[in-house]
Structure 1
Amino acid sequence: MGNWVINYWLSVLFLATWLGLNVFLFVHAFLSYEKADKYFYTREILGSALAWARASARCLNFNSMLILLPVCRNLLSFLRGTCSFCRRSLRKQLDHNLTFHKLVAYMICLHTAIHIIAHLFNFEHYSRSRQATDGSLASILSTLSQQEKDEDSWLNPIQSPNMSWKWILATGILYIFERILRFYRSKQKVVITKVVKHPSNVLELQMSKRGFSMEVGQYIFVNCPSISYLEWHPFTLTSAPEEDFFSIHIRAVGDWTESLIRAFEQKHSPMPRIEVDGPFGTVSEDVFQYEVAVLVGAGIGVTPFASILKSIWYKFWHADHNLKTQTIYFYWICRETGAFAWFSDLLASLEHEMEELGKVDFLNYHLFLTGWDTNIAGHATLNFDKATDILTGLKQKTSFGRPMWDNEFSTIANAHPKSVVGVFLCGPQTLAKSLSKCCHQYSSLDPRKVQFYFNKENF
């Protein structure tokens, strides 16, 4: 319960404010049309359905104004940079942009349904009043001349012009500017400097682009016009900001990625043209804001941490004394041994660098293999006493199965009883639930004790 308050109090406050504004706008509009004297005669014709229709329309305008803001990725990246010196709880709200985008969409659907149903009742009431012959006030009002076009007529506010465009004008202009900027950046020339084919059907592309500047953990959108003009796919950058190129690792997991890898494997064909949009900020940018960082990658989800670990190597190489992070725990969970190949060289370099600098305890990495056969397990058991792991060549031995997260978090909490620990995940939602639960369980509300902050990559 302690870490839930630490991690989510601002999110709850933000959502409560948004819901409160929806309730206020709905109630205010409803009472205006239900109680105001100027709508008395209209209410005689339409009844309370008028107030329901207008109140839901007010909320539709409000949420239509908000719906595009969470998908303005350049705006979010700018805000993340602006908030870099603010509290981490404020920056974390930017990581829930897609969740908020979906909530706003659900609210629009709700009020759209209310609006449509209310107007169906309006038309039914109006039609019934027009056909009535009992001399009631509603029948008399509904048969008044329809020739009057006074826009301020209180008899039939349904005919008044829509003012909805004022609600979405500012955000609409902002989103158009966002799309123009992204289109301009995507058309800048990308030079592919190196192509590497790794085991487990993973392709590495090293590229350069004029004016390209990145931070650790950021991602880009990639398009290959020869495959599809419309498909843009997000990929986390695996290079470090200190390198003179930027790179991505692509695993074949669908038609588009398979087609892209095949295109680069054809030796006698020209290299496909690549368009790049970005980079855009993610939660992993905050990794160096924590004293202790726990990095958890599942399969190809290790890519953002490749950028982080490379950057750490450069920081140690150049003796960067401004590094706030004191210890990193890195967990990589894979299904097959081949997936370890392209990343083990980086870990070996870091392992050697930490030994030379006398900081062996700075990087604690743990590799887990979840898919294996009896031959691999038996071979690993027979060679367990060797200095290096038979699967990766690293000094840290590969474990079989999945991590026991309760044990891992308990160990980290005992080793850093007064630290702020950032937990970063790039992986499936089921793993996110387990890690989030452990963060809640092993944190304390007392700021003098250990606190775990959970962060998940969202594209």
Structure 2
Amino acid sequence: YWQNNSRKLLFLAVYSLLNLLLFIVAMLRHSYGGPWFMVAKGCGQCLNFNCTFVMVLMLRRCLTWLRATWVVRVFPLDQNILLHQIVGYAILGFTLVHTTAHAFNFVQMTASGEYSLWEYLLTTRPGIGWVKGTASLTGVVLQVLICLMVLCSSTFVRRSGHFEVFYWSHLSYVWVWILLIIHCANFWKWFVVPGLLFVLEKIVGIAVSHMGGLYIVEVNLLPSKVTHLVIKRPQFFQFKPGDYVFINIPVIAKYEWHPFTISSAPEQSDTLWLHIRSMGQWTNRLYDYFRELESEPPGPNRLATSLRKRRQLPRISAQLTENHRFCNIKCYVDGPYGTPTRQIFASEHAVLIGAGIGITPFASILQSIMYRMRKQNCPSCKYSWCENIKDSEMKLRKVDFIWINRDQKSFEWFVSLLTKLEMDQADEEPEGRFLEMHMYMTSALSKNDMKAIGLQMALDLLAKKEKRDSITGLRTRTQPGRPEWGKVFQKVSEENKGKVHVFYCGAPALAKVIKAQCEHFGFNFYKENF
């Protein structure tokens, strides 16, 4: 447990002690105003720190750069999103206590003062605050905005297909910072340096995303409502396996940016791949947009509407198959940004676990691994596929790839790459293969179920005869049911290929189960935010 959580726990301990120290010092400075005034000032000082620190945790370009330094071994940079959420809840707590303490203090002041409680809370007459007595009014508005931001960023809202609610409500952080500068005389001193870094990151992001013309040149509508976008890659765009980008497609939503993992390898110099599953409003609009362009019949009664639309919307230029087309659609890309999977090449034995669409970061990693293996193992010539990669960066000795899906269709969109990876290792003995694949289909009855014994025996015989799995078409046999993680990790431990690092991308519930097993076997665990 300590191995996987030490950096986070130490960070939270230092963070808590710092807040406690700020609270106590601020209380002692304002001891003249009574206990409620002291509590309000203590929380106010903590809010000065937290309202700037919450921004520091989202400086993605700075964090991506720090991942390549020694800092990643000291600070939990891979968990910046979790820490951002923790600080956000701390801000909500401090805000509620700060407002309540001021309200009780105002009640005491009304007993001997000339103003009523409502005048203290909702007017500028008492003259409280450094900008024309607006501290109370701005405080009330800040309380409402912060509560709204926390509510709209809850897991229920983000996971229920309403990402746009989270996205647009979170943009009110600009108003929160403006109101904080007006509300508190000292907040600008805390804000100035992180604020300049934040503005600089935004300017660089806008410049990079609009530099050169980026176009979606190919689209493929895959099973399970997955949209495969192929984007022309600019020359200056450099990324590492598992990185993600923010993409904006004006024909879908002019002002919305959404994060997706790059599923192509860095060694693929001409294009970028994104695999996007339709789970929310924006992703469904994306899928429906391309599906309608492909299936819309040229009826005579829709001629006038069609002519008007063609002036505004890009057209699909050529059809390869029913769901696969060339196109030329403008888009903007901001990134790349780093993830925990950047550390995979420093591992000796890597276990990659993807659930459903959580396969996307590993698509890039698996392709990059095979490119690098080709470079090191080419027996017939000295040509290098990736000349800029040093041999010392590639410490991997074994990769176990585990993919868990609900049904057969969920495997179809990624099978072509897996087939290619199998072919690259076709001549090697099973025991000596660098990459070993394990497929699981959870909707199928497990082999221990009496109802499935006959079916599984038939599938085993068919797979042995045809040397292909009847579900995926791969040589790797698809296992029914869910993995028995204890047995899976026991086998990995017995192989003794070196230090084991487990990388997971998928649903949070399964992450807890896998993390517990990693702690039991002493494996390092890394979770991709999903």
Partners in 1 of 2:278 and 2:434 — Cα distance? 34
2:215–2:329 CA contact under 8 A, matched in 1: no
Alignment of 1:421-432 (within 5 A): 421-432=500-511
Equivalent residue for 2:231, pick from 207, 224, 236: 207
Q: Which of residues 369, 378, 382 in structure 2 aligns to 1:312? A: 369
CA-to-aligned-CA distance 1:327-370 (integer Å, 9 cap, x gap): 00110001121222232222222222223466842111100111
Deviates more, 1:108-117 or 1:191-200: 191-200
- Name whichever of 289-298 and 315-324 sits farther off: 315-324
**Does the alignment pair 1:383 with 2:454?**
no
Structure 1 residue 118 displacement after superposition: 1.7
Matched letter for residue 334 of structure 2: D
**2:145 matched residue in structure 1:** none
Instruction: Work out which of the two has the higher radius of gyration on C-alpha atoms and give 1 or 2.
Output: 1
Of the candidates 394, 414, 429, which is equivalent to residue 343 of structure 1?
Answer: 414
Distance 1:331 1:87, change over 3 A: farther
| Equivalent residue, structure 2, for 1:227 | 252
Corresponding residue for residue 27 of structure 2: 30
Alignment of 1:151-162 (within 5 A): 162=185
Q: 2:207, 2:185 → 1: CA distance?
A: 34
Indicate the larger mover: 218-227 or 379-388. 379-388
Aligned twin of 2:219: 195
- Per-residue deviation, 1:49: 1.7
Alignment CA distance shift 1:376-1:207 (3 Å): farther
Q: What's the counterpart of residue 286 of structure 2?
A: 260
Matched residue of 2:367: which SS? helix
Query: C-alpha separation between the residues in 2 aligned to 1:18 and 1:147?
Result: 36
1:90 matched residue in structure 2: 74
**Residues 237 and 439 of structure 1, relative CA distance in 2, 3 Å threshold:** same
Q: Matched residues in 1 for 2:52 and 2:72: separation?
A: 27
Alignment of 1:283-298 (within 5 A): 283-298=340-355
Does the CA-based 8 Å contact 1:351-1:360 persist in structure 2? no
Match of 1:166 among 182, 189, 199: 189
Counterparts of 1:161 and 1:242, CA distance in 2: 51
Equivalence for 1:396 = 476
Equivalent position of 2:443 in the other structure: 371
CA contact (8 A) 1:368 1:399 kept: yes
What letter corresponds to residue 508 of structure 2 in structure 1?
A: Q
* Structure 1 residues 163 and 331: CA distance shift in structure 2, 3 A: same
Report deviation, 1:372.
Answer: 4.3
173-182 vs 406-415, greater mean Cα deviation? 173-182
Shift, 1:430, TM fit: 1.1
> 1:87 and 1:22 mapped to 2: Cα distance?
22
1:345, 1:329 → 2: CA distance? 18
Q: Retained in 1: the 8 A contact 2:444–2:481?
A: no
Alignment partner of 2:273 out of 247, 251, 256: 247
* Whole-angstrom distance in 2 between the partners of 1:51 and 1:336: 60
Question: Aligned partners of 1:325, 1:431: CA distance in 2, in Å?
Answer: 25
Partners of 1:263 and 1:272 within 8 A in 2:
no
Rounded to whole Å, the distance in 2 between the matches of 1:216 and 1:234 is: 15
| Separation of aligned partners in 2, 1:185 and 1:339 | 34
Question: How many residues are aligned here?
Answer: 411
Whole-Å separation in 2 of the counterparts to 1:186 and 1:197? 25
- Conserved in 2, the CA contact under 8 Å of 1:217 and 1:307? yes
- Determine which of 55, 79, 90 is the counterpart of 2:66: 79
Q: Which residue of 1 aligns with 2:199?
A: 176
Provide the residue aligned with 1:49 in structure 2.
Answer: 36
State whether residues 354 and 403 of structure 2, in contact with CA within 8 Å, keep that contact through their aligned partners in structure 1.
Answer: yes
SS in 2 for 1:391: coil
Task: Select the structure with the greater relative contact order (CA < 8 A; seq sep ≥ 6).
Answer: 1
Conserved in 1, the CA contact under 8 Å of 2:59 and 2:198? Answer: yes
Is contact 2:209–2:334 with CA below 8 Å preserved after alignment? Answer: yes
Structure 1 residue 224 displacement after superposition: 1.6
What is aligned with 1:238? 263
In 2, the alpha carbon distance for the partners of 1:209 and 1:272 equals: 14
C-alpha change, 1:50 and 1:316, in structure 2 (3 Å) is same
- Mapped partners of 2:485, 2:24: distance in 1: 47
C-alpha separation in 2, matches of 1:166 and 1:10: 29
- 2:120 counterpart residue number: none
The question of whether the paired residues in 1 share the 8 Å contact of 2:66 and 2:72 is answered with no
Query: Is 2:107 aligned against 1:124?
Result: yes
Q: 1:273 pairs with 302, 310, 330, which one?
A: 330
SS of the residue corresponding to residue 101 of structure 2 reads helix
What amino acid is aligned across from residue 510 of structure 2 in structure 1? L
> CA contact under 8 A between 2:266 and 2:368: conserved in structure 1?
yes
Instruction: Say if 1:198 and 1:204, in contact at 8 Å, map to a contact too.
Output: yes
C-alpha distance in structure 2 between counterparts of 1:147 and 1:332, whole Å: 64
AA aligned opposite 1:409: F
Identical aligned residues as a percent: 36
Rounded to whole Å, the distance in 1 between the matches of 2:255 and 2:290 is 20
Deviation at 1:102, TM superposition (A): 1.2
Runs (4+) off by over 3 Å: 86-91, 146-149, 355-360, 372-379
Secondary structure (helix, strand or coil) at the match of 2:9 reads helix
**CA separation of 1:68/1:369 partners in 2, compared to 1, >3 Å: closer, same or farther?**
same
CA contact (8 A) 1:95 1:458 kept: no
Q: Relative to 1, partners in 2 of residues 1:147 and 1:308: Cα closer, same or farther, differing over 3 Å?
A: closer
Q: How far 1:201 moved relative to its partner? A: 2.6
**TM-score, normalization by structure 2:** 0.72
Counterparts of 2:334 and 2:519, CA distance in 1:
36
What is the alpha-carbon distance in structure 2 between the residues aligned to residue 115 and residue 256 of structure 1?
A: 38
What amino acid sits opposite 2:199 in the alignment? I
- Distance of 1:61 and 1:419 partners within structure 2: 46
Q: Which residue of 2 aligns with 1:112?
A: 95
1:440-455 aligned at under 5 Å gives the runs: 440-443=519-522, 452-455=523-526
